[in-house]
């Protein structure tokens, strides 16, 4: 633990004496649209590799968002950033500093284009000055509506089919030979078989198919 603290202190002091810009950094991955991991050149690997970067000036939807709408938008924004950085010829970090959470924050230049500005123009992010986040990504607004099924509601709707058949079994005058008990037995048997089929479908095909989340 002490060694890690010493390394952190050395890294912070290194960043302070280095120039504010890092030219030609190596892209490693993007967790979401505003959180990147890069390798910095001309620094010892213990300091310069796998360095987390917070993209300055923007706030993008969270991968683990508060709703399905935010998570969907987060994946779209992240995939856009990944495509840009994977195809980039040169990636630069400009005005590197630390924010109030002690994260390394920087403007990211992708082939001389400002990544933050590009994401803002495409609607993948909103401006952010480090204060309180004002954007609620769960408010659809002009976005394409997203239908999210409640599993229990979907299950209740699925019961309409056996209920309709049950009505025919109970009130069909052509089945006078069957007693009320016999009819109720058939209704219960129908409900059991139907729900077993739903359960099997859930196990085989998964929640996405059975409960209509696609």
**C-alpha of 7 from chain center:** 32
**In terms of pLDDT, which residue wins out, 64 or 119?**
119
**87 and 38, same structural domain?**
yes
**165 and 119, same structural domain?**
no
Digit-coded pLDDT (tens) for 85-104? 999 999 999 999 988 778 89
Span 123-150, average pLDDT: 71
What pLDDT does 95 receive? Answer: 92
**18 and 123, same structural domain?**
yes
Span 164-192, average pLDDT: 67
**111 and 65, same structural domain?**
yes
Mean pLDDT of the chain: 77
Q: What percent of the chain has pLDDT over 90?
A: 38
Among the candidates 127, 160, 189, a domain finishes at 127
How many CA atoms does the CB half-sphere of 28 hold within 13 Å?
Answer: 14
The band of 174, judged by pLDDT with boundaries at 50, 70 and 90, is: low
Q: Is residue 90 part of a domain?
A: yes
User: Would you say residue 167 has pLDDT above 70?
Assistant: no
Rounded distance between C-alpha atoms, residue 184 and residue 207, angstroms: 31
**123 and 55, same structural domain?**
yes
**116 and 63, same structural domain?**
yes
**11 and 89, same structural domain?**
yes
Digit-coded pLDDT (tens) for 15-51? 444 446 889 999 999 999 999 999 998 778 777 889 9
∠ CA(142), CA(33), CA(123), 5° rounding?
Answer: 25
Q: Is residue 41 part of a domain?
A: yes
């Amino acid at each position: 633990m002490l060694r890690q603290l010493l390394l952190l202190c050395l890294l912070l002091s290194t960043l302070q004496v280095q120039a504010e810009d890092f030219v030609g950094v190596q892209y490693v991955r993007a967790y979401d649209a505003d959180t990147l991991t890069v390798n910095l050149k001309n620094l010892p690997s213990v300091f310069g590799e796998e360095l987390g970067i917070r993209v300055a000036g923007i706030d993008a939807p969270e991968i683990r968002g508060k709703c399905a709408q935010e998570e969907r938008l987060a994946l779209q924004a992240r995939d856009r950033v990944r495509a840009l950085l994977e195809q980039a010829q040169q990636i630069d970090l400009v005005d590197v500093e630390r924010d109030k959470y002690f994260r390394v924050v920087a403007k990211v230049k992708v082939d001389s284009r400002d990544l933050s500005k590009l994401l803002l123009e495409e609607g993948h992010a909103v401006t952010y000055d480090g204060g309180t986040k004002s954007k609620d990504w769960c408010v659809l607004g002009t976005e394409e509506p997203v239908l999210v099924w409640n599993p229990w509601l979907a299950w209740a709707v699925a019961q309409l089919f056996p209920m309709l058949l049950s009505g025919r079994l109970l009130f069909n005058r052509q089945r006078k030979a069957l007693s009320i008990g016999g009819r109720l037995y058939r209704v219960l048997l129908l409900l059991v078989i139907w729900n077993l089929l739903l359960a099997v479908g859930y196990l085989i095909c998964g929640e996405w198919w059975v409960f209509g989340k696609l």
